[in-house]
Amino acid sequence: MHSDQIAKAIKITAQLMELHEQNPFKIKSLASAAFNIDKLNVDLSGKTLDELEALPGVGKSIAAKMIELNNTETLQELNQLLVETPVGVIEMLSIKGIGPKKVRQLWKELEIESIGELLYACNENRLVTLKGFGQKTQEEIKKQILFLNASKGKCLFAEVEQYANELIQTIKNHLPNVLVELTGQMRRKCEIIDVVEILIGTENQLNPLEIMHPNKVKIELIYCKPDLFYKMLFEATAASDFPLSTFNYPENIDKEESIFTFNHLQYIAPELRENAAIIALASENKIPELITYADLKGTLHNHSTYSDGSNSLKDMALYCKLQGWEYLGICDHSQSAFYANGLKPDRVAAQHAEIEHLNKELFPFKIFKGIESDILYDGSLDYDADTLKSFDFIVASVHSVLKMNEEKATQRLITAIENPYTTILGHPTGRLLLSRQGYPINHKKVIDACAANGVVVELNANPYRLDIDWRWIPYCLEKGVMISINPDAHETAGFFDMHFGTLAARKGMLSKEKCFNVLNLEQISKHFASKNTESIKF
């Protein structure tokens, strides 16, 4: 084996031993041996034990390991450590600036088991509470992770939207009077993007622009003659399962709508052009008017400095009032969420007192007393009945012990949904896009339970979550279950995520009539009150 490979194997062994808090003397000698071997830059195949032992920093036991590596290309000790460590935790060791000790803290104290989860925790400001970490470390880690993710070629819609819009503008500036539009995944508002496609209708091609998205997502410029622009736009927008071949084209298309009229179909918004199912609805004129961001009347499920948010309750409320919204549902974390400074009953009472005070001050704007109650392992909520009763509404979410099979996860959610105090089921699968799959659930059973218990399903609008997946919204609607587009904002800037939530909701064909937070203050107050009366009866 080459000395580089041997050094690498010994180094990772030392790191993993440190991660598992094994003998510090052994760790130190392995680390320093790896450091020395790394500098050799020679092939060490076929060396004898004596020869290896003579190398600087290499003692008898390390020389034996090198022999083992030479003979078997692996180390038993290393293999054992690898088996005992989640893959995502091993990947975390590759982040610059955090050594094994810090990775262990993240893993054991915050239950973070992947780089994706770590990024999410940084965004939620969770690291600052850990011993030896601080705001600066958190920022540095976040920067490192974004850098690592950047090389993978895929990114969230939210990470590329602004860039794509600016690019369109640049092209328009270069080529005034040409037709330019985003097409493909971007125009369909897909939650994950691997190529940004831009259609340009022009007789002349541009001089190559210097274009490279910072996340290295592919950018494709598609050229066509101006008179073919709308036909091309229509074709390039469609997903591969959308039945393009069934369409006929009129002559001289001057807008996309003409293609639908010509085929006796209702206009199908780009977001909905995913597959053939939409055609039947369009032929019967049954596609509803899709929800828009401007339809939203308020925002539910948000955090403040009472738990793990960065802005005070008052700042969050003032910001919402300024947006013209009628209400803010504040849902800090419940008592079990110690990592997020969850609220014990005395702090719940203190927050309620502040809310009452602020509601007088900000009238007619209203802050609703909510909580994001952890769904405990057995499906119960995180407070006694007296405390639960004191909230206007409750978002119930799973945050701990995410490793469950489908049966367990489904039952855990259903138990929470059947709890008479649950108003909204929060981020139903716990997924983090591009980084964590989420626990498996039987969506139909969960949604059926929501229907039976008058529980609203959250579409968590954080672009990392977009959970419930838009593909399940039609089933919710079929069962009469309302969808709440909740930003889960941890700072005032987080409210903007409702933009991404609305885009996902549109892909799920949500109309404003079926969206919970399109209800105005009076309507939603009534809903909360009726749910509470039912709870008391129960």
Q: What are phi and psi of 155, to 5 degrees?
A: -150, 170
Nearest-approach distance from CB 456 to Zn ion, in angstroms = 15
C-beta closer to Zn ion: residue 29 or 299: 299
**Does 29 sit near Zn ion (CB under 5 A)?**
no
Q: CB under 5 A: which stretch of 194-202, 206-214, 444-452, 485-493 binds Zn ion?
A: 485-493
Q: How far is the CB of 464 from Zn ion (least distance, A)?
A: 11
Q: Which residue has the tokens 């090198």?
A: 66
How many residues line the site for Zn ion (CB under 5 A)? 3
Measured from the CB atom, the residue of 398 and 515 that comes closer to Zn ion is 398
Q: How far is the CB of 289 from Zn ion (least distance, A)?
A: 30
Number of other CB atoms surrounding residue 491 within 10 Å: 19
Q: How far is the CB of 494 from Zn ion (least distance, A)?
A: 10
- With respect to Zn ion, which residue has the nearer C-beta, 33 or 489? 489
User: What's the rounded Cα separation, in Å, for the pair 201 and 221?
Assistant: 10
Segment contacting Zn ion by CB under 5 A, of 83-91, 396-404, 474-482, 493-501: 396-404
The minimum distance between CB 111 and Zn ion, in angstroms, equals 14
Tokens of 221: 């410029």
Which CB sits closer to Zn ion, 372 or 469?
372
Task: Select from 109-117, 171-179, 487-495, 526-534 the region that touches Zn ion (CB under 5 A).
Answer: 487-495
With respect to Zn ion, which residue has the nearer C-beta, 100 or 309?
309
Most distant CA pair in the chain, distance:
85
CB 44 within 8 A of CB 3: yes
Q: Quick one: 117 or 372, whose CB is closer to Zn ion?
A: 372
Among the listed ranges 159-167, 191-199, 397-405, 475-483, the one in contact with Zn ion (CB under 5 A) is 397-405
Question: Nearest distance from residue 337's CB to Zn ion, in Å?
Answer: 9
CB closer to Zn ion out of 181 and 382: 382
* Cβ atoms 510, 483 nearer than 8 A: yes
Which residue(s) pair with 201 in the sheet? 179, 224
Minimal distance, residue 495 CB to Zn ion, in Å:
13
- Residue 448 C-beta: closest distance to Zn ion, Å: 23
User: Which range binds Zn ion by CB under 5 A, 128-136, 178-186, 365-373, 403-411?
Assistant: 365-373
Using CB under 5 A, which residues numbered 35 to 94 contact Zn ion?
A: none
Q: Dump the DSSP string for 338-380.
A: GGGTPBPHHHHHHHHHHHHHHHHHHTTSEEEEEEEEE--TTS-
**Sheet bearing 218-224, strands edge to edge:** 179-183, 195-201, 218-224
The residue among 359, 318, 310, 297 whose CA lies nearest residue 484 is 297
Tell me, residue by residue from 488 to 517, as one string, x for binding to Zn ion by CB under 5 A and - for no binding: x-----------------------------
- Closer to Zn ion at the Cβ: 334 or 397? 397
237-247 b/e with 16+ CB inside 10 Å = b? bbeeebeeeeb
Which residues have C-beta within 8 Å of that of residue 168, sequence separation ≥ 6? Answer: 180, 181, 182, 198
Question: Is residue 324 classed as helix, strand or coil in its secondary structure?
Answer: coil
397 binds Zn ion (CB under 5 A): yes
The window from 17-25, 147-155, 318-326, 486-494 that contacts Zn ion (CB under 5 A) reads 486-494
The helix (H) or strand (E) run that includes residue 197 is strand 195-201
CB of 76 to Zn ion, least distance (A): 41
For Zn ion, give the closer residue by CB, 397 or 502: 397
Rounded Cα distance between 110 and 131, Å, is 12
Q: Which is nearer to Zn ion, 397 or 419 (CB)?
A: 397
Contact between 438 and 429 under an 8 Å Cβ cutoff? The reply is yes
What's the Cα-to-Cα distance from 101 to each of 78, 108, 203, rounded to whole Å? Answer: 18, 10, 60
Judged by CB under 5 A, the stretch of 53-61, 113-121, 347-355, 483-491 that binds Zn ion is 483-491
Give least dist CB 430 to Zn ion, A.
8
Residue 118 near residue 141, CB atoms below 8 Å = yes
- Among 197, 274, 332, 372, contact with Zn ion (rule: CB under 5 A): 372
Phi/psi at 199 (5° precision): -95, 130
How far is the C-alpha of 15 from the C-alpha of 20, rounded, in Å? Answer: 9
* Listed residue (296, 234, 277, 295) closest to 259, CA to CA: 234
Task: Please report how close the Cβ of residue 375 comes to Zn ion at its closest, in angstroms.
Answer: 10
Indicate the residue among 197 and 467 with the shorter CB distance to Zn ion: 467
In the bound state with Zn ion, the residue whose beta carbon lies nearer, of 198 and 388, is 388
The residue range among 76-84, 367-375, 382-390, 496-504 that interacts with Zn ion, by the rule CB under 5 A, is: 367-375
Sheet with 424-425: strands ordered across: 298-302, 327-330, 366-374, 393-397, 424-425, 456-460, 483-486
Nearest residue to 379 (alpha-carbon basis) of 400, 355, 363: 400
Q: Name the site residues for Zn ion (rule: CB under 5 A).
A: 372, 397, 488
